[in-house]
Structure 1
Amino acid sequence: MNDQAGPVTPVVVVLPPEIDVTNCDEVFEQLAEVLAPGIGTVVADMTGTSFCDSSGVHAIMRAYESAAARDITMRLAVSPDGSVRRVLELIGAARLMPVHETLEDALSAA
Structure 2
Amino acid sequence: MTLACERLPGVTVIAVAGEMDATNRAQLEDYVRDVLEPPGGQVVFDLSRVPFMDSSGLHVLLMCATTCLRSGGTARLAGVQPLPARLFEVTGVLSHVPVHETVDDAVAAALESAERSG
Does TM, scored on the shorter chain, surpass 0.5? yes
Runs of 4+ in 1 over 4 A off after TM superposition: none
- Supply the distance in 2 between the matched residues of 1:23 and 1:53 (Cα, whole angstroms): 11
Gaps of 5+ in 1: 1-6
Instruction: State the partner residue of 1:108.
Output: 108
Structure showing greater Rg: 1
8 A Cα contact 1:45 1:77, kept in partner: yes
| Structure 1 length-normalised TM | 0.80
Q: In the alignment, does 2:24 pair up with 1:23?
A: yes
- 1:18 corresponds to which letter in structure 2? E
Secondary structure (helix, strand or coil) at the match of 2:26 reads helix
Higher strand share: 2
Q: CA RMSD in A?
A: 2.1
Q: Report if aligned partners of 1:8, 1:40 keep a CA contact under 8 Å in 2.
A: no
For 2:70, the equivalent position in structure 1 comes to: 69
Runs of 5+ in structure 2 lacking a partner? Answer: 1-7, 113-118
Distance apart, 1:38 and its partner CA: 9.4
* C-alpha displacement of 1:54: 1.0
Task: Count matched residues.
Answer: 103
